[in-house]
């Protein structure tokens, strides 16, 4: 086997699947060695040989029900293994389809099937973890990954920390020795790569779906102490003391109707959410009365403005104009589409504002066909986790972050699953809480009810019961 690996190492070098110079990896690390195994699709004999060699890593092929290659480089390798060994193959899409069946995993499978992962190169292991996340959501069992090259930069450890056994044809140090013996590289290059590996390790990572459940299991009162944003701490403490995780969406057009609703439901909600630009008779007196009700009934005010412009414009929209949102809204919603600079712009708009403020970054939306998927979604989560203490949490539909100090706000909640005919999708209270929500937004389920107070109390009860069940359940 070693002679075959030496031969394949030289062939990989000769087809320029191995490059030396100054490169950047997927997660942003600089590297003097780069693996571009995508070129092997142009060399069928080499690709076939690699696929056969990879499959020798399997301990007991009779226990393998499915094979899944990490997109895209590993897909042809997985296909060859599948065909040669008559084992079914699954394909993971880069992101969920926005049409048809909306599948992320393609193929025929059953719950509990054992699936092995095929990958070309691991650095941090993030691509494998993302694939495993999608497979586990389909109730597939994944415990092993077969890899051509392990860069020895922490990926193996990251995967093992998530219960995944990694087997590789090569580790970088051994691969370099094979190339040195074959006269393809010099001792100087070997030393440069060795020094690089010693100084550069990939970070420990958590991926959606594989993240620890600490955030889901900790009570709000304990999480309040972990929040970076003072307003997030206040909100978590308020939710605990009032025993409510209900955010009421007061999407009404008249100020009197909003004030009446706030007064009626106020004792039973944590947040009152407005769309101030739909109010037909907006005036400064309305804001003063609303703030008074918020203080009296102990709830926070959120303006669901969904800021999404360039920094300077957002700063002006937040602070000035007819509504002067920065002066009265405890919380606002923000699209991260313009990048992290939007957070700095909002800080600018808070100049001379003495009360604490917070923002919810919109990572996912509840409408059909939403574009908040894939890399956009990952970037939104990263921005929230790495941003300043101005960020309170994420607006989302699923469990996206392990950080206990960040709240997850989920819109689109009704007592039964449905849609409104305008592509707004609804889920019931228990579903959204189990999916990771800390705070659930209810609008028309209360505002259009014949008895608003009765409806608010029922939502409050179901949401709080779901939360208590979540933190006390050993299976969450």
Q: What is the DSSP string of 340-409?
A: THHHHHHHHHTTT--S--EEEEE---SBTT-S--HHHHHHHHHHHHHS-TTEEEEE-SS-----TTSEEE
> Would you call 228 a catalytic residue per the annotation?
no
> Would you call 375 a catalytic residue per the annotation?
no
Core vs surface per residue 74-93: b (16+ CB within 10 A) or e: bbbbbbbbbeeeebebbbbe
CB 334 within 8 A of CB 360: yes
**Catalytic pick among 36, 234, 291, 309:** 309
Q: What is the DSSP string of 152-178?
A: SSSHHHHHHHTT-EEEEEEEHHHHHHH
* 275 secondary structure, DSSP code: -
251 is in an annotated binding site: yes
425 is in an annotated binding site: no
Angle at 67 between CA 212 and CA 164, to 5 degrees: 30
273 is in an annotated binding site: yes
151 is in an annotated binding site: no
Phi, psi of 223 (to 5 degrees): -70, -25
**Number of other residues whose CB lies within 10 A of the CB of residue 44:** 11
> Would you call 309 a catalytic residue per the annotation?
yes
Pick from 340, 258, 367, 238: which is nearest to 303 by CA? 258
Tokens of 240: 């605990």
CB 130 within 8 A of CB 158: no
Contacts of range 17-22, beta carbons closer than 8 Å, 24 or more positions apart: 18/175, 18/179, 20/185, 20/189
**Catalytic pick among 120, 304, 330, 438:** 304
What is d(CA 413, CA 443) in angstroms, rounded to the nearest whole number?
A: 8
The distance in angstroms from the start CA to the end CA of the chain is 45
**Catalytic pick among 6, 52, 234, 306:** 306
Three-class DSSP labels, 52-113: HHHHCCCCCHHHCCEEEECCCCHHHHHHHHHHHHCCCEEEECCCCCCCCCCCCEECCCCCCC
Number of H helices, E strands in the chain: 18, 18
Residue 63: alpha-carbon gap to chain centroid: 32
Q: How far is CA 244 from CA 266, 398, 431, in A?
A: 11, 20, 17
Residue 247 β-bridge partners = 271, 441
What is d(CA 441, CA 271) in angstroms, rounded to the nearest whole number?
A: 9
* Residue numbers annotated as active site: 304, 306, 309
Which residues make up each annotated binding site?
251, 273, 366, 424, 443-444
Which residues make up each annotated binding site for substrate?
251, 273, 366, 424, 443-444
């Amino acid at each position: 086997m070693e002679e075959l690996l030496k031969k394949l190492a030289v062939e990989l070098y000769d087809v320029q699947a191995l490059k030396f110079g100054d490169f950047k990896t997927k997660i942003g690390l600089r590297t003097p060695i780069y693996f571009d195994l995508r070129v092997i699709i142009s060399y069928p004999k080499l690709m076939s040989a690699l696929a056969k060699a990879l499959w020798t890593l399997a301990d007991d092929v009779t226990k393998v029900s499915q094979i899944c290659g990490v997109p895209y480089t590993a897909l042809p390798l997985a296909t060859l293994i599948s065909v040669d060994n008559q084992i079914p193959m699954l394909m993971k899409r880069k992101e969920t389809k926005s049409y048809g069946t909306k599948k992320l995993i393609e193929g025929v499978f059953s719950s509990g099937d054992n699936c092995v992962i095929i990958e070309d190169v691991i650095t941090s292991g993030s691509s494998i973890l993302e694939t495993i996340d999608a497979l586990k959501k389909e109730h597939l069992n994944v415990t092993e990954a077969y890899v051509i090259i392990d860069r020895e930069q922490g990926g193996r450890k990251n995967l093992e920390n998530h219960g995944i056994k990694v087997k590789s044809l090569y580790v970088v140090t051994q691969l370099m020795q094979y190339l040195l013996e074959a006269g393809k590289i010099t001792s100087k290059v070997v030393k440069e790569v060795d020094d690089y590996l010693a100084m550069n390790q990939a970070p420990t990572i958590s991926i959606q779906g594989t993240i620890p459940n600490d955030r889901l299991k900790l009570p709000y009162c304990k999480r309040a102490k972990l929040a970076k944003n003072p307003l997030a701490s206040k909100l978590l403490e308020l939710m605990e003391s009032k025993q409510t995780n209900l955010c009421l969406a007061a999407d009404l057009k008249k100020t009197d109707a909003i004030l009446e609703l706030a007064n009626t439901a106020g004792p039973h909600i944590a947040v009152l959410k407005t769309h101030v630009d739909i109010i037909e008779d907006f005036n400064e007196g309305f804001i003063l009365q609303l703030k008074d009700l918020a203080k009296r009934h102990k709830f926070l005010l959120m303006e669901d403005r969904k800021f999404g412009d360039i920094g300077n414009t957002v700063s002006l929209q937040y602070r000035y104009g007819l509504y002067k949102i920065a002066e009265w809204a405890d919380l606002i919603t923000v699209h991260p589409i313009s990048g992290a600079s939007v957070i700095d712009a909002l800080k600018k708009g808070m100049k001379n504002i003495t009360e604490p403020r917070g923002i919810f970054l919109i990572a996912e939306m509840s409408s059909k066909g939403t574009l908040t998927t894939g890399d956009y979604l990952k970037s939104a989560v990263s921005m929230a986790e790495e941003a300043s203490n101005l960020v309170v949490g994420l607006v989302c539909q699923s469990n996206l972050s392990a950080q206990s100090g960040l709240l997850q706000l989920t819109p689109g909640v009704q007592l039964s699953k449905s849609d409104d005919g305008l592509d707004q999708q609804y889920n019931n209270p228990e579903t959204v809480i189990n999916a990771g929500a800390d705070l659930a937004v209810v609008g028309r389920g209360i505002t259009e009810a014949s008895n608003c107070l009765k409806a608010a109390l029922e939502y409050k009860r179901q949401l709080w019961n779901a939360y208590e069940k979540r933190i006390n359940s050993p299976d969450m």
